Amino acid sequence: MNTTHHSPATTHAVSIHCMASEKTRAIVLKLVEFSESSCVVTLFTEDFGKVGALAKGARRPKSAFEGALDLLALVRIVFLRKSADALDLLTEAKLERRFRSAQRELARLYAGYYVAELLAELTDTGDPHPELFVAADQTLFALDQGAAVPETVLQFELAALRLLGHMPSLAECVVCGRPVVGEGRVPFGMTVGGVLCENCRPGKRGVVSVSSGVIAALRQAATDAEAGRELEGSTRGELRAVMSNYFAHLVGRRLRMSEYLGVQAG
């Protein structure tokens, strides 16, 4: 340690030397005040998955982040990876696209928050899912462009389930693989992850009875990437309840934003 005065910039350059500097695109999931001038930001990055980073000086008017650290914004970042449990250090963030729905419509804002919550809860720090990043980016963009909210949210949920290996079985019994062709109501195992035939249903925990119309709507939405089709009003409420219940089982508790998804335009 030498005794001459270091400007902050010099000290910074020295510390960069022993850490890996990474560049990627990211979606801002969460911002928490850390000190008077800094905050801790949770990002879902394209190349490194979820990242928790300290943004020093982010709360000062003239920071290296120039107001880019806005909830749900798409940003291009540079960060320094720390080892073990230490927070990474965010050194740069440039805004690519702000999530504008916040100023337009509550239902869109809530849908955006829900996307962020799903990403934060369903993925692990440092576990990359580039396709999920693309799906999330497209979803936020679609919400901003005025796409139908319930259909857009459902498409993202199904994409996330598929890409993270949690897609429920919707046509065959999740236990024995026999086709389940339900009229009326179909048993759906929340814990085992899918529909059940009458033979496999007994003794299973977390089984709910779902209308065959909702199962059919889910199956159709899962196989058809086009989000344009409108969900029927009668199906919509039950479908929301099933998805909310299923994600609660996956995460281990009810998602905070799921109850706000029924909010209509306005």
CB of 218 to Zn ion, least distance (A): 18
Q: Nearer Cβ to Zn ion, position 102 or 171? A: 171
Q: Nearer Cβ to Zn ion, position 16 or 176? A: 176
In 3D space, the residue among 114, 113, 141, 125 whose CA is nearest the CA of residue 247 turns out to be 114
List alpha helices for 103-185, DSSP H.
106-122, 130-144, 149-163
User: How deeply is 232 buried, as exposed, middle or buried, from its count of CB atoms within 10 A (0-12, 13-18, 19+)?
Assistant: exposed
Amino acid at 239: L
CB of 203 to Zn ion, least distance (A): 12
Q: Nearer Cβ to Zn ion, position 31 or 175? A: 175
CB of 43 to Zn ion, least distance (A): 42
Residue with token string 């306005």: 266
Q: Distance between CA atoms of 170 and 193, rounded to whole angstroms?
A: 9
CB of 50 to Zn ion, least distance (A): 36
Q: Distance between CA atoms of 87 and 30, rounded to whole angstroms?
A: 14
* Cβ neighbours, 10 Å, residue 5: 6
CB of 195 to Zn ion, least distance (A): 9
Q: Distance between CA atoms of 6 and 170, rounded to whole angstroms?
A: 63
Q: Nearer Cβ to Zn ion, position 184 or 203? A: 203
Q: Residues 55, 69: contact at Cβ < 8 Å?
A: yes
CA triplet 246, 136, 88: central angle to 5 degrees?
Answer: 100
Q: Distance between CA atoms of 247 and 205, rounded to whole angstroms?
A: 16
Q: Nearer Cβ to Zn ion, position 167 or 175? A: 175
Q: Nearer Cβ to Zn ion, position 200 or 250? A: 200
CB of 250 to Zn ion, least distance (A): 22
CB of 247 to Zn ion, least distance (A): 24
Amino acid at 166: H
Q: Nearer Cβ to Zn ion, position 150 or 168? A: 168
Q: Distance between CA atoms of 266 and 261, rounded to whole angstroms?
A: 13
Cα-trace Rg, the chain: 22
Chain residues binding Zn ion by CB under 5 A are 173, 175-176, 197, 200
